[in-house]
Structure 1
Amino acid sequence: MDQRWEDAVLLHWRIPVAAAAARMPPGVRADVVDGSAWVGLVGFRMHRIRLGAAVPLPWLGSFPEINVRLYSRERDGTRGVVFLSLDAPRLAVVLGARAAGIPYVWSRCRAVVTDGADPGYGYDVERRRGRTRSSFAVRPDRAALAEDELSVELTARFGLHSRFAGRTAYVPISHEPWPLHPATVTHLEDGLLASAGLDVGGPPESVLFSPGVRTRIGRPRTVRHP
C-alpha cells in the first residue's frame, strides 16, 4: 500500500524496560534508546491511500489515526514498532487490519488545527465501547529542526512487529526520514496509555511535530526465533 501520513504529533515517555518487554511478541525484544524503553502516543492524518502506487482507494478517504506504540528489535538488529492500539474512525479499515492481527479500535477521531500565524495541531479520540478518551495538542516551532539523536531514534522506524496466526510477523514500511520540529504541549488529557495497561505520569519527555511523509507498506515476513 501507498499512503501519506500528515500533521503527525508524536509524544513519548520513558518506561521501564521490563514493562515494554512484557508486551513484545515472540522473537523480538524491547528496544532501549538513551537507557530506557519508550511508549509513544502518536496522532496523524492518513491521506491518499493507494493499493500499490497506482490504484487509489477513495472509499476509504482521509482520516485521523491515533496509536499507542512501543519499540522493538530483532536478534539481527532489525528495529520496528509494536502497536498496543490504533484508533481510527473507518470501520472497514479497522476490520481489515484486525483480521491481519493489528489491534485497531473503531473510534470517533478528530484532527484539530488552530488557525493563526502560529497554528497548533492536535487529536481527539473517543472509543465507541468503554468510552475511553484522549485529547492532546501541540504548538510546533517550525523555525527549528529536531535533529538530535533521541528524536531520530524514536522516529526512524521502518517496520512493525505483530502477532499473526500464532507467529510473529514483520511488515516493512518505507519512507524518507521524518522532517521533525520540536513542539510544546498545549493540551493533554489522555486515557489511551492507561487503557493499554501502562502507568505513565507527568509530561512527555519528547514532544515532536512533523508535516508528514509518504509511506509504502511492503510484504510481511515471518520472524524466526528459537
Structure 2
Amino acid sequence: MKVKEIESITDHRPFKIPEESWKYYQEWNLAIFMHWRISLDDLRALVPEVFEIDMFDGSPWISLVAFDMNNIGIKNIPKVPHISDFHELNIRTYVKYQGKPGVYFLSMEGSKRSSCRVLKAFSKLPYRYSNINRNTFSYHSKNPAQQDHYSVTYRVGDSLEYKSKLDCWLTERYALFNPSKKGVFEYNIHHLPWPMKEIQIKDLEVNYQGFPKLSEQPELVHYSPGVKVITWKKKKHSL
C-alpha cells in the first residue's frame, strides 16, 4: 500500500493527524510485543513527573518490543542503506501529556552503532547500541555496557481475527513523548492498525537491571508482521 493510501485511513486513531506534511518514513517489521502490568508506584519512579501515567482499567503497563527497523528515510531524499535497516528493542510505557495519549520510552537499543548515533542526535531519543541477533524463530540481545539481556525463541501462528480493547490500547499508539532539559518533545506518527498473529513463546530470558518486573513471565504477548510508518517533525513544548 502506498503512503497516500495509508495517510487517508485514519478512523482507528484516537486523534487527528497533523495538518502539515509528514517528514519521515520507516517500517517496523516482525515485531514481538511483551506486556507486563506494573504497580503505579514502581512506574512513577521511572517516568518524569511532567507526564501523567496512562492506565487501562486502573492499571499501568510496561512493554518490551523487539522488531526490525527498515527503510528509514527523509521524505523525497534517498535513504542511507547502512543506517536505514537494523534490529531494535525498546522498553516503553504509556503516558499522557496535556491530555494526549502516547508512549514514553524507558530504553531503546539498536544493533548498529552508526544508526544509534545518528538517530540519537536527530531525534533526541535514548538510543544505545546492543549486540542483537535474530533468525526466523529467535531474537537475542545483549548490551555490552550494562549487561542487559533478552533472549526468546518462539513460533508464529495464525492471524488474530479479534483484538481486545486492551490489545488495541497497548499497540495502537500514535504519539510519543521525550523530555529534555528545556521542555518536552512530541513526535506524531501514523500507520494502519497493527496486523496481529498468534505467537507461542518457547524459551524466554529477560534480565534488565533497571526493570526487574521484566524478569517475570509477560501477562500478554503479540506478534505482528509489521507496519509502514510516517512521522512528523518533532514538536517542542516549553516547560
Q: Please identify which structure carries the higher helix content.
A: 2
Identity %: 26
Please list every run of 5 or more consecutive structure 2 residues that lacks an aligned counterpart in the other structure.
1-23
Question: Does the 8 A contact of 1:156 with 1:178 survive in 2?
Answer: yes
Question: Does the 8 A contact of 2:30 with 2:223 survive in 1?
Answer: yes
Q: Please identify which structure carries the higher strand content.
A: 1
> Partner amino acid for 1:203?
Q
Map Cα deviations across residues 173-200 of structure 1 (whole Å, 9 max, x no partner): 11111111232211210113xx234434
Q: Which residue of 2 aligns with 1:51?
A: 74
* Cα deviation, residue 98, structure 1: 3.1
Among 160, 176, 191, which residue is 1:144 paired with? Answer: 160
Distance 1:187 1:53 in 2: 42
Normalised by the length of structure 1, the TM-score is 0.86
Q: Which residue of 1 aligns with 2:45?
A: 22
Among 73, 76, 84, which residue is 2:106 paired with? Answer: 84
| Residues 133/162 of structure 1: CA separation in 2 closer, same or farther (3 Å cut) | same
- Count of aligned pairs between the two proteins: 215
> Partner amino acid for 1:205?
E
* Cα deviation, residue 146, structure 1: 4.5
Greater Cα offset, 80-89 or 54-63: 54-63
1:1-226 superposed matches below 5 A: 1-52=24-75, 54-76=77-99, 78-99=100-121, 100-114=123-137, 122-192=138-208, 195-200=209-214, 202-223=216-237
Normalised by the length of structure 2, the TM-score is 0.82
| Residues 83/26 of structure 1: CA separation in 2 closer, same or farther (3 Å cut) | same
Q: Which residue of 2 aligns with 1:119?
A: none
| Residues 166/224 of structure 1: CA separation in 2 closer, same or farther (3 Å cut) | closer
Distance 2:84 2:98 in 1: 38
Q: Let me know the Cα RMSD of the aligned residues.
A: 1.9
Map Cα deviations across residues 79-135 of structure 1 (whole Å, 9 max, x no partner): 111111111122122123333431111111112213xxxxxxx32111121332111
Greater Cα offset, 57-66 or 90-99: 90-99
